[in-house]
């Protein structure tokens, strides 16, 4: 797992969401996570189905944030869980060995160690910088990437206010994936924004 990992904003307009996601995928986004914290179950299913179909056409993984039932119902490629959500071990048992299970570990290596023991596919650290979308403490040190590489054999995703400029040193330090919301979805050209992020791994 490597590259730009786009996370959807809380947009109720499905056509707008799918269009921007299609642009980002055309620009080189490697993974899509569907996250909409305020959607109704009906809207969430409608949007997830549309995005899953889009990802299938592009051959990119589609991951659902938090909602195990939705992930199972759509046969999505995986689930991302936060530190206060269901344990990774439980999610892994529910989804089986072939699905992707991502785990938010914030700035805590112990959470990453536990996630690895319980069968996670990747670990996500952050926030590193202030985010326009997600509200959490900006307390994660870039040094956690090197520490993780010494102890954790899983791919590392970084999140939290990511721009092409401020994520470049994290990629140079060994981050496998950069998760971005506003820097792609709120960009004038999501395809060009995605392309600039994707280029970080070709330098």
User: Domain of 14: which CATH number?
Assistant: 3.20.20.70
Cα dihedral sign, 23-99-128-151? negative
Q: How far is CA 64 from the centre of its chain?
A: 9
Range of the domain at 49: 3-202
Spatial contact of 14 and 40, defined as CB atoms under 8 Å apart: no
Burial of 20 (0-12, 13-18, 19+ CB in 10 A): buried
Active site members: 35, 104, 134
pLDDT in tens, 11-37: 999 999 999 999 999 999 999 999 999
pLDDT in tens, 96-150: 999 999 999 999 999 999 999 999 999 999 989 877 666 666 679 999 999 999 9
CA distances (Å), 137 to each of 3, 44, 86, 168, in order?
A: 24, 27, 21, 21
pLDDT given at position 133: 66
Specify the number of domains making up the chain: 1
Angle between helices 190-198 and 14-27 (to 10 degrees): 40
pLDDT given at position 137: 63
Spatial contact of 158 and 175, defined as CB atoms under 8 Å apart: yes
CA distance 194 to 71: 25
pLDDT given at position 105: 95
- The residue among 187, 181, 149 whose CA lies nearest residue 167 is 181
Give mean pLDDT, residues 35-63: 97
| 110: Cβ contacts below 8 Å, ≥ 6 apart | none
CA distance 117 to 73: 26
Mean of per-residue pLDDT scores for the chain: 95
Phi, psi dihedrals of residue 33, rounded to the nearest 5°: -115, 125
């Amino acid at each position: 797992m490597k590259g730009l990992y786009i996370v959807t904003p809380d947009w109720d307009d499905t056509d707008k969401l799918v269009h921007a996601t299609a642009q980002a995928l055309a620009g080189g986004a490697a993974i899509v996570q569907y996250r909409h914290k305020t959607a109704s179950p009906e809207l969430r299913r409608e949007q997830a189905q549309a995005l899953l179909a889009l990802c299938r056409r592009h051959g990119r993984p589609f991951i659902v944030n938090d909602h195990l039932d939705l992930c199972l119902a759509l046969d999505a490629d995986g689930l991302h869980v936060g530190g206060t959500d269901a344990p990774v071990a439980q999610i892994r048992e529910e989804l089986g060995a072939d699905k992707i299970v991502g785990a938010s570990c914030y700035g805590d290596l112990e959470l990453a160690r536990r996630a690895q023991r319980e069968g996670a596919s990747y670990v996500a650290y952050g926030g590193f910088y202030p985010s326009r979308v997600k509200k959490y403490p900006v307390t994660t040190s870039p040094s956690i990437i090197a520490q993780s590489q010494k102890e954790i054999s899983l791919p590392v995703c970084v999140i939290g206010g990511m721009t092409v400029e401020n994520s470049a040193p994290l990629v140079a330090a060994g981050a496998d994936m950069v998760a971005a919301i506003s820097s792609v979805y709120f960009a004038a050209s999501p395809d060009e924004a995605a392309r600039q992020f994707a280029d970080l791994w070709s330098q």
